Structure 1
Amino acid sequence: MNIFALFTQHVRQAVAALAAEGIALPEASLDRIVVEAPRDPTHGDLATNAAMVLSKEAGLKPRDLAEKIAARLSALGDVEKVDIAGPGFINLTVKASVWPRVLKAAVEQGEAFGRASLGQGAKVNVEYVSANPTGPMHVGHCRGAVFGDALANLLDVAGYDVTREYYINDAGAQVQVLGRSAYLRYREALGETISIPDGLYPGDYLKPVGEALKAAHGDRLMNAPEAEWLPICRDAAIAAMMEEIRGDLAALDVRHAVFFSERSLQTPVDKVRAAIETLRADGQIYEGVLERPKGADDDEWEEREQTLFRSTAFGDDVDRPLMKSDGSYTYFASDIAYHKDKADRGFLDQIDVWGADHGGYVKRMQAALKAITGGQATLDVKLVQLVRLFRDGEPVRMSKRSGDFVTLREVVDEVGRDAVRFMMLYRKNDATLDFDLAKVKEQSKDNPVFYVQYAHARGCSILRNAAAAMADLDLSPTALAAAPLDKLDDAGEVAIIQRLAQYPRLIEAAAQAHEPHRVAFYLYELASDLHSQWNRGKDSPHLRFIMENDRQMTAARLALVQGIVTVLRSGLAILGVEAVEEMR
């Protein structure tokens, strides 16, 4: 039972019934009606914006419309009280008999509780990580990987057809630098003493690539011209780095369905040129000269005619070049072709997860996709802020292996996948994250991942203890759902059921906003509810979950525990965190 979906339907029916009174409202406008939990619990159980968003079309003041809607909602059998707040918000208090039905649905539906049909099977492409294959993944990549993967999980639960994609930047200057760096390691493997000049990659991670090149080619490349050895070393290094990246991601339980090669945009068919010509045919390309940027040095600024995209026509700040002075494509041109390719594959709903340093790139990419698809495709870019790594409050030094950063694998190996994933999501993606390697291993309330996993383990322990104490008590979901749930009238028990009732709405809202951190916050609050009620039972025996002298109350409270365990497990699965049944 999704109480928010149920009452959204009630509100829509109330609004639709006003047509009999001569109040005309377009049917499409009903989609703007939202029913959610009020921010202040003292205002009731549910709140709707119906009067606020529909008053203009109805030709009424919001409060006047609210009174008409409220009159119809007051007649519903599940409604205890309806209040109108402020300019026209409608707050509802439901009858106590509603909450046992919510718990019954949670227990009966199990893992299906909270799953939504919001997406209605629409295809959505989530592209995330997409780190340059020039070295092992660092802790900054880790956050984008976890965020993108959890977002994909969330959208799947919300009813979307999700494809997880990784864009391999295997073209351009940076992989040429990688090839030259690998060539130096190849010479080192042959016995030469080398030094790594500025501009090349100094990390030890390329030593195995040098050894592999030696095993495959002997000393044949030593005296070969660069035109011969560079593509060999480049491709060997890219392959090795991508294999390592896949392994690093697997350590986080992150797996992509599609790995898309940037090079494939130009061979065998030049899709970049085709994208440019598509825009040119639509009048979105012209040859022109950009204004000199503010603050540009006169000696460095070159005023020249360029091939430009009219991105300002689609909301960007300035028009953008698509060709370099040497005739090669800009990164932007390749990105246009790539996003067009995604649209051509049927992904009109696209989500990219980028590092915060790409924030200035967002408007132009959204403008380009809008232009090249005639406004059919949309792009939401989620920027992921930096991760600052600490140990006991002190900044963590760089990795010897990587040369200048801490690798993702080092962090996962030290604190574990679950801690990394949960903590990377326990803050909004666009806020800087301080990650303390010591604190995430603490077993305390201050460590959110421990606190939530412990709640799930505690719930499982309660159910195991009940099975041992009352061996003939049927603890199957079907039997627990049939327990006398109306006995759960303690304020703490009702509050937990109300929290469980919020879960389906939370999934929809988090999916719509593309914000998986909301799930992590919710799970912490639900865990706190369970721990608090368990502690109350320690102090007041009549509130304990297992009461051997009252089988009916025990069954009802075990149903409550089952509901908590079910939702915790469901939410942790979205985050990609294990729902442990025992804490060791």
Structure 2
Amino acid sequence: MNLFSDIRALVLDCLQAMVADSALPQGLDFGNVAVEPPRDPAHGDMATNAAMVLAKPAGMKPRDIADALAARLTADDRISNADVAGPGFLNLRLSPALWQGVVATALREGLDYGRSDMGQGLRVNVEFVSANPTGPMHVGHTRGAVVGDALCNLLAFAGYDVTREYYINDGGAQVDVLARSAYERYREAHGLSPEIAEGLYPGEYLIAVGEALKAEFGDKFLNQPESVWLETVRNFSTDRMMVMIREDLAALGVRMDVYSSEKALYGTGEIETAIEKLRAQGLIYTGTLEPPKGKTLEDWEPREQTLFRSTAHGDDVDRPIMKSDGSWTYFAPDIAYHYNKVSRGFDMLIDIFGADHGGYVKRMKAAVSALSNGRVPLEVKLIQLVKLYKNGEPFKMSKRAGTFVTLRDVVEEVGADVTRFVMLTRKNDATLDFDFARVLEQSKDNPVFYVQYAHARICSVLRKAADMGAATDDPALAQAALARLDDPAELALIRKLAEWPRMVELAARTQEPHRVAAYLSEVAAEFHGLWNRGNDTPALRFVQEGDLATTSAKIALARATSVVISAGLVILGVTPVTEMR
């Protein structure tokens, strides 16, 4: 049940009737007609822009359309009032019975309330995290992991067929650096002093890898040239790092469906196949690029390169795919990897990158556009930085990692649920401040606490109602005398619950899971507001001593609120709590 979609359908039916009666001209496009919550709740329950968007193509005054539309809408039992405001906006008030029905629907549908078929089963591949397998994940990866996982949950809830994918960047020079760093820890495991030269990874996490190398290979590689041990140590260390990364993700409640290896693309012909696909379209050529911005002719040496004509698909400049020595650039395997995803039949690709990949977006979109003949869209979400604080002071670096705060540091400090919720309190492309002290505060200024406290309060009142003999199971509550929920504060909470199906579709359409976190904070605020009013007005309390019928209706509202909060928290990957500790 999506009440906003239902009322929009009513508006469209009325507009079609106006066309049939010649009150509106034929051929109008109703695609931009919307029904939304009004900016000011005092103006009504819903508002439609129909008259405003149709006035110009209809050649009519907005108020004339609005007046005629209002007369038709109020003939429907669901609409109690329709007021024309300003130049032609139409504010609607719905019958109380319609709002009260939202409570029963939420109870009948449970955690499926708000679930949508908007995605129509379209196959979506979401690639996220994809951290280099050179060490534990840092706090930036944490935010990307949470955003990616919550986005997958959201899209699945909205009817998409979602695949979570991790691209292991194990084909570049960074894994050679990992191998050399691990080799020094291997030497250390044999009682030698490690030589952690500049450019190597200094983190203590590699000590365990060095000891594992010793256990596996003994002294086989001691005092041997790099050519003897590099490949073996690289593969061994990469595997160990991926075990650590999987454990880090599990600690955060993130699971992947697919792990794809960059290294696996080399020597298999996949890169060559993808490049030939582009060549067949005339998009691969040999040429010379202009100097990059900021470079002068004196410090720029032009040279012929093998280039991808990415400007043909919206990029600013063409991009090199092969180095002068004949080896591939880092862009070439990424082209092949995305061609692999296109070939697997996905209808949409979503990549979640760190903010430092901003310059990579257009070229990757161009490649996917060319490889899929424009069939498969690629959306790229950039994850901005997380600034860590404790009691307002910058948080110190992790000794274990050597240079950064790890995902484990964060989760062990505040827990996975708090970490996930806080990481979703702002849009992905906005910098996030994460204060370890503030996110654990038990105050209304802490959205994690405020939402969880609402759910815990509801669980508490359900237990109290059960103790007095009231039915608290959802089927019984759905049959309660919901017409007794007629106080403005109760109806305000119900109106907020009615927005949930619309919010799901809006958040999924914009691919913005942070909207769910913000919405849950609004639900919690409405619930706590109603609870606090009950302190001064006994008739608003959820448990009415000696009046089981009224108690059942109010408990039904509380339970419906917990259903929506639970569904939203599940999308965020957060476990609802039943009591605060």
Q: State the match for 1:202 in structure 2.
A: 202
Given candidates 565, 571, 575, the residue that maps to 1:574 is: 571
Change (3 A) 1:53 1:274: farther
Change (3 A) 1:16 1:339: farther
Q: State the match for 2:98 in structure 1.
A: 98
Q: State the match for 1:336 in structure 2.
A: 335
The Cα shift of 1:60 comes to 5.2
Q: 1:45 corresponds to which letter in structure 2?
A: D
Q: State the match for 2:14 in structure 1.
A: 14
Structure 1 portions without partners, runs of 5+? none
Q: State the match for 2:555 in structure 1.
A: 558
1:231 aligns with 2:231: yes
TM-score, normalization: structure 2? 0.96
Q: 2:366 corresponds to which letter in structure 1?
A: A
Aligned length: 579
Secondary structure of 1:82's aligned partner: strand
Tell me if the contact between 1:178 and 1:237 (Cα under 8 Å) persists in the aligned partners.
yes
Q: 1:509 corresponds to which letter in structure 2?
A: L
Q: State the match for 2:3 in structure 1.
A: 3
The Cα shift of 1:86 comes to 4.8
Q: 1:327 corresponds to which letter in structure 2?
A: G
Q: State the match for 1:433 in structure 2.
A: 432
The Cα shift of 1:37 comes to 1.1
Q: State the match for 1:34 in structure 2.
A: 34
Which residues of 2 match residues 133-148 of structure 1 at below 5 A? 133-148=133-148
Q: 1:334 corresponds to which letter in structure 2?
A: P
Given candidates 478, 490, 494, the residue that maps to 1:493 is: 490
Q: Distance in 2 between matches of 1:332 and 1:95?
A: 59
The Cα shift of 1:501 comes to 0.5
Tell me if the contact between 1:151 and 1:514 (Cα under 8 Å) persists in the aligned partners.
yes
Q: State the match for 1:190 in structure 2.
A: 190
The Cα shift of 1:104 comes to 1.4
Tell me if the contact between 1:25 and 1:58 (Cα under 8 Å) persists in the aligned partners.
no
Q: State the match for 1:24 in structure 2.
A: 26
Which residues of 2 match residues 290-329 of structure 1 at below 5 A? 290-298=289-297, 300-329=299-328
Secondary structure of 1:287's aligned partner: strand
Q: 2:328 corresponds to which letter in structure 1?
A: Y
Q: Distance in 2 between matches of 1:39 and 1:408?
A: 39
Q: 2:277 corresponds to which letter in structure 1?
A: T
Q: 2:489 corresponds to which letter in structure 1?
A: G
Q: Deviations 1:184-240 (Å, cap 9, x if unpaired)?
A: 211222222122111111111111111111121122212443233111111111101
* More displaced stretch, 243-252 vs 67-76: 67-76
Secondary structure of 2:483's aligned partner: helix
Change (3 A) 1:393 1:570: same
Change (3 A) 1:297 1:314: same
Q: Percent identity?
A: 59
The Cα shift of 1:330 comes to 1.7
Which residues of 2 match residues 270-281 of structure 1 at below 5 A? 270-281=269-280
1:506 aligns with 2:481: no
Q: 1:276 corresponds to which letter in structure 2?
A: I
Q: Distance in 2 between matches of 1:100 and 1:213?
A: 66
Q: Deviations 1:420-439 (Å, cap 9, x if unpaired)?
A: 01100011111111111111
Q: Distance in 1 between matches of 2:230 and 2:61?
A: 72
1:539 aligns with 2:536: yes
Q: 2:522 corresponds to which letter in structure 1?
A: E
Q: 2:185 corresponds to which letter in structure 1?
A: R
Tell me if the contact between 1:168 and 1:261 (Cα under 8 Å) persists in the aligned partners.
yes
Q: Deviations 1:254-285 (Å, cap 9, x if unpaired)?
A: 00000011112224x22111111111111122
Which residues of 2 match residues 398-409 of structure 1 at below 5 A? 398-409=397-408
Q: Distance in 1 between matches of 2:52 and 2:270?
A: 48
Q: Distance in 2 between matches of 1:218 and 1:32?
A: 70
1:370 aligns with 2:394: no
Q: 1:222 corresponds to which letter in structure 2?
A: L
Structure 2 portions without partners, runs of 5+? none
Question: What's the Cα RMSD here?
Answer: 1.8
Tell me if the contact between 1:137 and 1:408 (Cα under 8 Å) persists in the aligned partners.
yes
Tell me if the contact between 1:46 and 1:92 (Cα under 8 Å) persists in the aligned partners.
yes
Which residues of 2 match residues 202-281 of structure 1 at below 5 A? 202-267=202-267, 269-281=268-280
Runs ≥4 residues deviating over 6 A: none
Q: Distance in 2 between matches of 1:10 and 1:290?
A: 58
The Cα shift of 1:52 comes to 4.5
Q: 1:395 corresponds to which letter in structure 2?
A: P
1:149 aligns with 2:146: no
Secondary structure of 1:221's aligned partner: coil
Q: State the match for 1:526 in structure 2.
A: 523
1:174 aligns with 2:163: no
TM-score, normalization: structure 1? 0.95
Q: 1:16 corresponds to which letter in structure 2?
A: Q
Q: Distance in 1 between matches of 2:176 and 2:530?
A: 60
Q: 1:34 corresponds to which letter in structure 2?
A: A
* More displaced stretch, 12-21 vs 162-171: 12-21
The Cα shift of 1:97 comes to 2.2
